[in-house]
Structure 1
C-alpha cells in the first residue's frame, strides 16, 4: 500500500506542470474583445476564435469573446475585433462607443465580411478606406504577396496561397489614407491599415482552412499587437509553444520515465524499511 501511495505521489508531481495556469494569461498583455455577431458561417467563426485563443496563449495577449452590448463599455480593452461580422448588428450608442474608442487610440481589427457590416455607418467605412464589391460566387485559390516595412507583416516574406471567395474593392485603399500590406498576384488589395487611425482590415477569413494557416494567423496576431499600440516585437511564450515532438507522445514518455525511476526508488525504500523491521523483530 505504501508503495502505491508513493508511486502515485511521484506521478502526480510529474504531471503537475501540465496543470499550471499559462503564464501568458497573467502577463498583462493586450486585452482583445472579439465579436462575431451576424457572421454567415458559425462553424468558421467558432474555429477562428478557437485558433485565436491558442495564439493568445502563445503570444501574450488575452482574447475575450463578446457581444454588441459589450461594445458599450470598452475601457478595459486595447483592441476590438470584428471577426466576419455582418448586417446591422450595432445600435447607435454602440457605434459611437467604438468610434470614440478608436479615436482615443484603441485598435480595430476587422476581417472578411466585416467590411459589409453596418452599411449606413459612415465613420466605419471611411476608416476602412475602401468599398467592397460583391464577393466572388465560388472560392478559388490565389497567391497573396506581403509588403515589407510594416510591423504587421514582419517575418511574412513567403508567398501565401489561400482559397477564398475573394473580395475586390472600388475604390481600393490607397495612400495617403492607407498602407497596403498584402495583395493578390493581380495587384488587388488583400490587407491594409489606416495611416491615421489604428484600424486594420484583411479580406480573407471566410473559410475555416484560412484560420488554420500559420502565416495568416501571424498576420492577424501582429495586426492585433499593432492595433494595441505595442511597439516591441512579439515574443513567443515558450511554456505554451508547441514542442518539437508531438505533445502527447512526449508527455507519455516523460511520465513513464519519471514513474519508472520513481518506482525503483520506492521499491528500494520499502525493501530497506522491511529489512529494518525484520531486524527489529
Structure 2
C-alpha cells in the first residue's frame, strides 16, 4: 500500500511539474479618465497569450492589489489602457518597491495617459501622451529588431490605429526604441483647442520602446487602441515579447 501511495505521489508531482507556469503577471485595467471599449478584447487577447505561452495572468481593476504582499506574487504588471489617477500614495509606493526589487512593467497604449502627476511613473513610461489625430492607416517601421517578439515583425508594415503623439522623453538616450510610425504616411495634425495643437513629432515618431528602470524593466507599446489588434498575430507577438522580457529579463541578445 505504501509503495502504491509513493508511486501515486510521484505521478501527481510529475503532472504538476508539467503544468508549471513560466511566470505570473498582474493585468491591471482601472480607468479614471477615458475608458477604452477595447479593454475587454485586450484582456481576452492577453489571456490567450497566457494559455499559448504557459504563464499565469490575473486580471484586476481594483487598485487594492497594489500592496507589497500581493505584488510579491507577480513577476510583472501590465497596464492595459489605464487612464488618469488610478493609484493612491500608498499603492504607488508599493509599486515602486515592486519595480525596484527587479520586477517588470508593460504599458499598452493609454498607459501613457495615466498618472501624469507621479514623476516616478512618467519616467518609467518614458514618454507621456500629449495628443492624437483621428484614427488613420499609416506605415510602421522597425527601428530595432533585437528584442523578443520582433522576429516576424516586418521592417515596414501598413497599420491602422490611434497614433499617439508623445511629450518629450525625460531622458532620450535611455529609451531603446523598437518601432516608429512614418508621419509622411498619414496626417498627424491635431487640434484640441487653442492650447493643444500639433503638427506631429517630426522626422522620428516612436511608438514602442523599452528600458531598464530603477532596478527593474519597463516596456511600452503605443499600439492597441482598436480591439481587433488583440487577435492580430503580429501585434500579439510584439506584445508577448514585451511581457516575456519584462517578466524574465530574457530575450535581448
Between Structure 1 and Structure 2, whose CA radius of gyration is higher? 1
**Partner-residue secondary structure (3-state), 2:71:** coil
Q: How much is the aligned-residue C-alpha RMSD, in angstroms?
A: 2.4
2:43 alignment counterpart: 49
1:218 alignment counterpart: 237
Structure-2 separation of matches of 1:179 and 1:84: 22
Equivalence map 1:224-239=2 (5 Å): 224-231=243-250
More strand by share: 2
**Partner-residue secondary structure (3-state), 2:237:** helix
Which residue of 166, 178, 190 corresponds with 2:207?
190
Structure-2 separation of matches of 1:25 and 1:47: 29
Equivalence map 1:148-167=2 (5 Å): 148-167=145-164
More helix by share: 1
Judge conservation of contact 1:172–1:189 (CA < 8 Å) in 2. Answer: no
For this pair of structures, how many residues does the alignment match?
211
Segments of 5+ residues of structure 1 without an aligned counterpart are 1-21, 234-281
Which residue of 120, 140, 145 corresponds with 2:141?
145
- CA distance change for structure 1 residues 143 and 170 in 2, over 3 Å: closer, same or farther? same
2:78 alignment counterpart: 81
Segments of 5+ residues of structure 2 without an aligned counterpart are 1-14, 184-203
In the superposition, the TM-score normalised over structure 1's length comes to 0.69
Structure-2 separation of matches of 1:215 and 1:27: 27
Equivalence map 1:1-281=2 (5 Å): 26-38=19-31, 40-41=34-35, 43-66=37-60, 67-72=62-67, 73-136=70-133, 138-146=134-142, 147-172=144-169, 175-186=172-183, 187-196=204-213, 197-231=216-250
In the superposition, the TM-score normalised over structure 2's length comes to 0.76
**Partner-residue secondary structure (3-state), 1:223:** helix
- CA distance change for structure 1 residues 42 and 130 in 2, over 3 Å: closer, same or farther? closer
**Could you tell which deviates more after superposition, 141-150 or 177-186?**
141-150
Moved over 4 A (4+): 22-25, 172-175
1:10 alignment counterpart: none
